[in-house]
Structure 1
Amino acid sequence: MDRAANGATTSKHDQQPLSRTHTNTNTNTNTPHAQAPLLRLPTDVWLHIFAHLLPRPASTLTALSTACKHTHQLVDDYGWKGLLGHEYARVQLGRLDASYKSYVRATRKRRAIVRSKWWFACRYASLLNRCWSEVTLRTGAVEIPVGERKKQHAQGRARRFGGDFAIPALTVGSRWLIVGARSELFVYQAAAAAQQLVSRIRLDSRSGGTTAATAGLQDDPWQDVTALEAVDTEASVVVVGYADGCVQLITLQSKSEGVAAEVVRHFPASRRQEVAGISIQSCNASSSNQVANEDLLVASLSKRGCLRIHRVTPPRDSDSEGRGEEWSWQIDSEGTAVVADQYHIADEDSGASTPRTFRSAAFNNAPVVALDAVSSMSATRAWSVLLGSCADVRKPSRKENRWVAVGITAEHAVYIYPVARQDGALRLKEPFFVASKGQRTSVYAMATPPAASSLPSFLLFVGFYDGVVRVYDTRQLQSASPRDDDDDDDDDDDDTHDQQHSTNGRHRRQRVRRELDPIAIFREDYDTDAVYSISFGGPRADFLVIGGSRHAKVRIFDVSSLAGYDVPLLSAPAAEGAQKKARDWTAFALPRTDSPLYGVVGEADRIVGVTDRRLWWFDFGAAILDGAQLGDAKVAYFRHTDGELCYSTPLHSP
């Protein structure tokens, strides 16, 4: 294997035929048309050229391939492959195998030129973009096989409130699609067109074990799965958070009878506080978050503001066990983080008297306690947590610049804490916070663009209770790093912080503004429901996917205008802004339901989500690859520009 100048790896088998063609063709001096010197360049040089065909690499490659036979071969074998890895890294080639074979047979039958699989995949990605914009998709849904749990004191209530349905958690990988509901994991094949249940696994947060799910066992509300996050790209390793505050790292392995789960790491909780959210980040700052063989940081947040960060070291061989460290803080509604004492627990903080308003629907049948029993407890209501970095994963930096963001109910609904190492332990620095309009609000969902996205990874997307998604530039957190790494004097209560820098022997104070203003806002005038979940979809991951709080509504925003973001702009060009807004739409994932979308996951060619009873999906790829007209299932949607109700089309028309 040889490494090209741009970092790409090429094999000698790939290089030698081209090198011989470039150097040995037309060696006869009597040949009337000698080959141009440009065509005799080594393959590594061509790879470097292909990597710099910006800003429109696809159209440039198309024009270059029509120049002559030699450039056509080069572009087909190497140009489209580089474009696929650079711009369409989320496209899974495995799904295109059958369709590409059919294309090859049909092309050879016509005696036409057979293009490479890389060209076929890039064409597929380009069509996917159109399907996302034109709402061309196939839809489907399956029932989550978890029964209704009867509520106590349900007399006199409407039918909607007569039973207690689970609040599912969702995570999706290239191999498994996993739904956590009650105390069970429901495992599906991720690549299946129609999701078929592969296995049901009952979890136990107290013993750290798993069993096969059976209908005879009685559910314990404190054993409910309240948070679920995949560690690797296949979703074969997941982190699960429970209603009693415990956190587990679980691996899934295929067996002849289904899928077996093994608890690799178990983090017990001294307080019975429901885990509201989980976030995962690799300890290698230059890599993506979806790495299973590296040390991991796992952040969990309880609904009463207990933030725990675990450093998980996976086992290096079959005979060793992974190590783990843990740090915890108690966060109040003012953003003050105090190191929590895990061994001192007050009677009122045991969790048995958790207020009903702090619980999910799974706790509506738990014992009711008097309000005076909980009057002394903290009023913090926390909902979401996210680990991130100020650096762009596309431009690796030696500095980690990590942060952890916490979404709560307060006037400043998001606090962002820079994370630093001190004497081997993690320390939270003085927090930054998002700008406020003077009213209390809540934040249930936060997200940063994935590593394969065309958007900078330092952008923080925050979904608010008013239905608006605001975007923040977290590089502002780096302004506090020069001094904070050297001392611990972070006791200023103002929204600015003084820093001292030495210039020619004199100390100069610098004011650091700790209030973050949004650099972009995405709202929809016809829908102001609270944001429950956020994800990114499309072949470039430049579509913002939002799950709403009512009627299973999913909102799609084209955020590709932020792909080249570096510094804030005063305003976007009017023509470009109107064009981008025309691609925004809102759809009703399921008919006749008022359930929220508790989780949505966007991929290159589909959206997957969960309501209180059903798992549903929008498949944009099937509308391209499957030419059969299957049924008449359509999705109702409306454009954000006019609000006119329309219906999706199930088949892409060239």
Structure 2
Amino acid sequence: MSLTDLPSDVLILALQDLSASGLAAVSLSCKSIHSLVEEFGWNGHLRSNPRPALSVAKAQALWAPRRRARYNTLSDRAWSRADFTARPLSRPWTGKFQPAMAISLSRLVVAAGSTLYSYKFAVASSSELESPSVVFEGSVRLAEVPSAVYDITCLTFIDDGGLDQTLCAGYHGGEAERVILIPPDEAKNMPLAVVRFPLSHQRQSDSEFLESLKYVNDRLLSLSSTGVATLSTVPASPNDEVTSSSIDIKQRSWTSHLSLASSSPFAAFGAASTTPLTVYSIQPDRISPTPFANLCMTRRHINGPAFSSAVYGISRAPPCSVWGASDNVLVSGWYDGQVRIYDLRADERPAISESSTTTLAPVLSVLDPWSYEPIYDVACGGGSGTHLAAGSARHSVVSFWDVRSPQCGWSVYAPGNDSSPVYSVILEGSRLFGATQSRPFVYDFGPDVKNDTYPSLPDAPGADGLKGKKGAGYQVVKYKHNRGLPNGY
């Protein structure tokens, strides 16, 4: 009995367990198997091996499933070798800022001071493997006179029917706005522009400013520096009524995370206190006034004395992690330089406790043993959908770990290698976008990155820290956590 004598439905089931290389090999066996692989095999492989990547999603939607699987497989192999193209997305800004980034299916927007920089994701690519390009659309200043009051402190895209042009921006002065990007029109010689609408936000004090904004399914979660968290609706029209509810966690707060996809929706908040990472249930019309979970530093802190610390970054876990693709697994970046992962499905509350708040210890903690700097931001995804990325507080270092072998992490300095923190990171299947106090940058693990895949850098007087070119990218320095021996490449 030959393979082709088996029923098609049996063959289709067998294809589901094959790797990309296995599918490619078996598709060469005969025409009938090739047809099954093309029609069912590659699509099944992509469903079983998700690689969320907003910057290439529109381009990949036009690709055949085999091409998408090939791109993802080559990117995964590059991740396993820590082989990528490092590119700054601009020359250094004039001045030093604490930038914020937001990403959608159509563009990446970087806020530095009161200026927005927009990078559009191209859809077409000329070759079978070429990485989709990123095009600089332009910049627009939201304040006529530079002032810290108008510095953008947080940024997120909100739904606008698929146009990917509408953002919510929070300012150091405490205000929030809906900002609509008007793309440039070369035919009419019109540069990038914006239309702005104020959003209602009740400040508790003159020193309060917005620290974090998260948007999910028409709900906007804002967190102020003083710990006031507000969950509000975002109507389609700026003139429609907004409903909201607020709680005050009464702590110096830094970051937030909103999850509405889990069976029990929740919001998580990172702050500086003896309970720096807390999780609150979300009811249909409000946030619960008390947390249902405190996430502590180690297991011994469940019953032991509380220590003050801070959490600066929160993300959901990698999509293909050992804990499954669950919204109930959180990744957090801490002041002590560790990245801690928590599974909210666990229950480790001591039996003697009468509190309604569960205390959970991390299921995994990782760190760069050669750096004790705080972690300012975290993101998840990367190669095989199993990576963590963390932006460090000094020397523009980004650290990576594969949760399948967390002891084999590695770190890399951003192009330019300045002393800045990496304030923001966005991790995709084949790319990491980051931003320091001086400029945004990208690490591209995808195949066939060209010189014109990313915006060219205009000529600038003097040195800006960039080392020599290596192909389409710039030389950077990386080191393995288990060796600590820097090497340029």
TM-score, normalised via structure 2 length: 0.80
Partner of 1:589: 414
Judged with a 3 Å threshold, the aligned counterparts in structure 2 of structure 1 residues 637 and 433 are, in CA distance, closer, same or farther, namely same
Partner of 1:641: 482
1:406 to 265, 269, 283: 269
Structure 1 residue 267 corresponds to structure 2 residue 200: yes
**Is the Cα contact below 8 Å between 1:93 and 1:121 reproduced in 2?**
no
Partner of 1:327: 245
The 3-state SS of whatever aligns with 2:183 is: strand
Distance 2:61 2:221 in 1: 38
The 3-state SS of whatever aligns with 2:142 is: strand
TM-score, normalised via structure 1 length: 0.61
Structure 1 residue 225 corresponds to structure 2 residue 50: no
The 3-state SS of whatever aligns with 1:475 is: coil
- 1:288-327 Cα shifts (integer Å, max 9, x gaps): xxxxxxxx22111111111111122324xxxx95442111
Partner of 2:327: 457
Judged with a 3 Å threshold, the aligned counterparts in structure 2 of structure 1 residues 446 and 143 are, in CA distance, closer, same or farther, namely same
1:53 to 2, 7, 16: 16
**Is the Cα contact below 8 Å between 1:306 and 1:330 reproduced in 2?**
yes
Partner of 1:373: none
1:458 Cα deviation after fit: 1.5
1:633 Cα deviation after fit: 2.7
1:179 Cα deviation after fit: 0.9
Q: Please tell me the residue identity of whatever aligns with 2:315.
A: A
1:543 Cα deviation after fit: 1.2
Partner of 1:278: 213
Partner of 1:556: 400
1:430 Cα deviation after fit: 4.0
Partner of 2:137: 198
Percent identity (aligned)? 22
Partner of 1:509: none
Q: Please tell me the residue identity of whatever aligns with 2:216.
A: Q
Partner of 2:372: 528
- 1:597-639 Cα shifts (integer Å, max 9, x gaps): 0111112221111111111111221556789972673221011
Q: Please tell me the residue identity of whatever aligns with 1:189.
A: K
**Is the Cα contact below 8 Å between 2:315 and 2:331 reproduced in 1?**
yes
Judged with a 3 Å threshold, the aligned counterparts in structure 2 of structure 1 residues 426 and 440 are, in CA distance, closer, same or farther, namely closer
- 4+ runs deviating over 4 angstroms: 33-37, 45-48, 93-98, 191-196, 232-235, 450-454, 622-629
Partner of 1:169: 100
The 3-state SS of whatever aligns with 1:324 is: coil
Partner of 2:458: none
Partner of 2:464: none
**Is the Cα contact below 8 Å between 1:127 and 1:624 reproduced in 2?**
no
Q: Please tell me the residue identity of whatever aligns with 1:330.
A: D
Distance 2:473 2:176 in 1: 43
- 1:548-583 Cα shifts (integer Å, max 9, x gaps): 000000001102x3xxxxxxxxxxxxxxx4xx533x
Moved more, 187-196 or 584-593: 187-196
Partner of 1:251: 180
Q: Please tell me the residue identity of whatever aligns with 1:278.
A: L
1:456 Cα deviation after fit: 2.7
Distance 1:450 1:235 in 2: 24
1:174 Cα deviation after fit: 3.3
Partner of 2:75: 128
1:466 Cα deviation after fit: 0.7
2:296 to 417, 435, 453: 435
Distance 2:199 2:11 in 1: 47
Judged with a 3 Å threshold, the aligned counterparts in structure 2 of structure 1 residues 143 and 324 are, in CA distance, closer, same or farther, namely same
Judged with a 3 Å threshold, the aligned counterparts in structure 2 of structure 1 residues 73 and 600 are, in CA distance, closer, same or farther, namely same
1:431 Cα deviation after fit: 3.5
Partner of 1:3: none
The 3-state SS of whatever aligns with 1:258 is: coil
Partner of 1:448: 316
Q: Gaps (5+ residues) in structure 1?
A: 1-32, 101-116, 149-164, 205-216, 283-295, 333-379, 392-399, 481-493, 498-511, 562-576, 649-654
Q: Please tell me the residue identity of whatever aligns with 1:385.
A: S
Higher helix fraction (1 or 2): 1
Moved more, 181-190 or 618-627: 618-627
**Is the Cα contact below 8 Å between 1:463 and 1:534 reproduced in 2?**
yes
Distance 1:248 1:450 in 2: 31
How many residues align structurally? 444
Judged with a 3 Å threshold, the aligned counterparts in structure 2 of structure 1 residues 629 and 94 are, in CA distance, closer, same or farther, namely farther
Judged with a 3 Å threshold, the aligned counterparts in structure 2 of structure 1 residues 433 and 168 are, in CA distance, closer, same or farther, namely same
Judged with a 3 Å threshold, the aligned counterparts in structure 2 of structure 1 residues 552 and 405 are, in CA distance, closer, same or farther, namely same
1:231 Cα deviation after fit: 3.4
Distance 1:645 1:615 in 2: 23
1:406 Cα deviation after fit: 1.2
Distance 1:513 1:446 in 2: 20
**Is the Cα contact below 8 Å between 1:419 and 1:428 reproduced in 2?**
no
Partner of 1:542: 386
Partner of 1:181: 112
Structure 1 residue 519 corresponds to structure 2 residue 363: yes
**Is the Cα contact below 8 Å between 2:449 and 2:472 reproduced in 1?**
no
1:169 Cα deviation after fit: 0.7
1:593 Cα deviation after fit: 1.1
**Is the Cα contact below 8 Å between 1:537 and 1:606 reproduced in 2?**
no
Q: Please tell me the residue identity of whatever aligns with 1:456.
A: S
Structure 1 residue 240 corresponds to structure 2 residue 84: no
Distance 1:388 1:96 in 2: 26
Judged with a 3 Å threshold, the aligned counterparts in structure 2 of structure 1 residues 247 and 142 are, in CA distance, closer, same or farther, namely same
Judged with a 3 Å threshold, the aligned counterparts in structure 2 of structure 1 residues 633 and 234 are, in CA distance, closer, same or farther, namely farther
Q: Please tell me the residue identity of whatever aligns with 1:141.
A: P
Q: Please tell me the residue identity of whatever aligns with 1:538.
A: G
Distance 1:227 1:614 in 2: 16
Distance 1:266 1:408 in 2: 24
**Is the Cα contact below 8 Å between 2:16 and 2:41 reproduced in 1?**
no
Q: Please tell me the residue identity of whatever aligns with 2:272.
A: T
Distance 2:156 2:374 in 1: 22
Partner of 1:608: 433
Partner of 1:386: 257
Residue correspondence of structure 1 range 140-159 to structure 2 within 5 A: 140-143=87-90, 146-148=93-95
Judged with a 3 Å threshold, the aligned counterparts in structure 2 of structure 1 residues 416 and 324 are, in CA distance, closer, same or farther, namely same
Judged with a 3 Å threshold, the aligned counterparts in structure 2 of structure 1 residues 451 and 202 are, in CA distance, closer, same or farther, namely farther
- 1:53-86 Cα shifts (integer Å, max 9, x gaps): 24x5535534643543201111023211232244
